[in-house]
Amino acid sequence: MPTLYYSPGACSMASHIALEEAGGPYEAQPVLLAKGEHLTPEYKKINPRSKVPALRLDDGTVITENVAILNWVGRTYPEKNLLPKDDVGQVRALSICAWLSNTVHPCFTHVFRPERFTEEESARAGIKEMGKKSFFANLQEIDGIIGAGPWLMGAQFTVCDPYALVFYGWGSRIELPVKELRNYTAWKDRMLARPAVRKILEREKSPLLAA
Ligand SMILES: N[C@@H](CCC(=O)N[C@@H](CS)C(=O)NCC(=O)O)C(=O)O
């Protein structure tokens, strides 16, 4: 059965929820970033970049990157309707996931890991502050995309939804005023009402359950 390598609270939560929503068999293997488990020689054999998520398929193929894993989930379980059926809809889903991955996530990295962007200790506070501002601007954009919803892409729940939940959680973690984002917050409550989402948040002991 496929194995998902994840770390609680990390961006891997997107792939974790999507796999649970798909309902097929998979094993969830924790790789604790806080304990440096992603840096071990064993994990480097799975993902030499030392990042989560990674999904190991039955034939040994390893898929990295949320965008690719989410796509794999949507295409592997078409009956679960986790991707739009039409070509343009599928490409729009890909476009949203790519933006979450290449723009929204890196803004948060500026806040969480400013040392990755400068060797100057004195420059880090500024990088963090700017990251926080851009990250919140991205959350506001997500709020606008959700609009009346009920889901990110409108009527259909897709693999984009679990991905957007990661960033609501991170915004709340760094004490951004996420509750002011009315569409995003109402959507978060709808997400939390889904059994598969709750199951994974419980497994990952997510603070979102108490938010
Ligand atoms: N673009 C990648 C990002 C993966 C990524 O940066 N994962 C983080 C957790 S959110 C990680 O493993 N960080 C460990 C590190 O950078 O040391 C994806 O979406 O899968």
pLDDT tens, residue by residue, 166-194? 999 999 999 999 999 999 999 999 999 99
Domain boundaries, the chain: 3-80, 87-194
Tell which residue, 207, 197, 203, 208, has the closest CA to residue 19. 197
Q: Is the pLDDT of residue 198 over 90?
A: yes
Query: How far is CA 136 from its chain centroid?
Result: 16
Give the whole-angstrom CA distance, residue 36 versus residue 85.
40
pLDDT tens, residue by residue, 81-137? 999 999 999 999 999 999 999 999 999 999 999 999 999 999 999 999 999 999 999
| Plot region of 180 (φ>0 → left; ψ -120 to 50 → alpha; else → beta) | alpha
The correct answer on CATH 3.50.50.60 for the domain covering 3-80 is no
The CB of 13 under 6 Å from ligand 1? The reply is: no
The CB of 132 under 6 Å from ligand 1? The reply is: no
The CB of 66 under 6 Å from ligand 1? The reply is: yes
Q: Is the pLDDT of residue 211 over 90?
A: no
Which position has the token pair 């984009």? Answer: 160
Q: Is the pLDDT of residue 68 over 80?
A: yes
* Residue 11 CA, ligand 1 centroid: distance in Å: 7
Give the global pTM: 0.97
The CB of 52 under 6 Å from ligand 1? The reply is: yes
The protein residue whose alpha carbon is closest to atom 9 in ligand 1 is 10
Give the whole-angstrom CA distance, residue 117 versus residue 109.
9
The CB of 33 under 6 Å from ligand 1? The reply is: yes
pLDDT tens, residue by residue, 38-56? 999 999 999 999 999 999 9
Cis peptide before 53, with omega less than 30 degrees from 0?
yes
pLDDT tens, residue by residue, 16-38? 999 999 999 999 999 999 999 99
The protein residue whose alpha carbon is closest to atom 11 in ligand 1 is 51
- pLDDT, position 67: 98
In the DSSP assignment, the letter for residue 154 is B
Give the whole-angstrom CA distance, residue 117 versus residue 130.
12
The CB of 69 under 6 Å from ligand 1? The reply is: no
| Plot region of 101 (φ>0 → left; ψ -120 to 50 → alpha; else → beta) | alpha
pLDDT tens, residue by residue, 137-158? 999 999 999 999 999 999 999 9
Domain 87-194, second-level architecture? Up-down Bundle (1.20)
Q: Which of 4, 29, 40, 52 to mutate to test the pocket of ligand 1 (most atoms within 8 A of CB)?
A: 52
The CB of 101 under 6 Å from ligand 1? The reply is: yes
Q: Do domains 3-80 and 87-194 have the same CATH topology?
A: no
The CB of 110 under 6 Å from ligand 1? The reply is: no
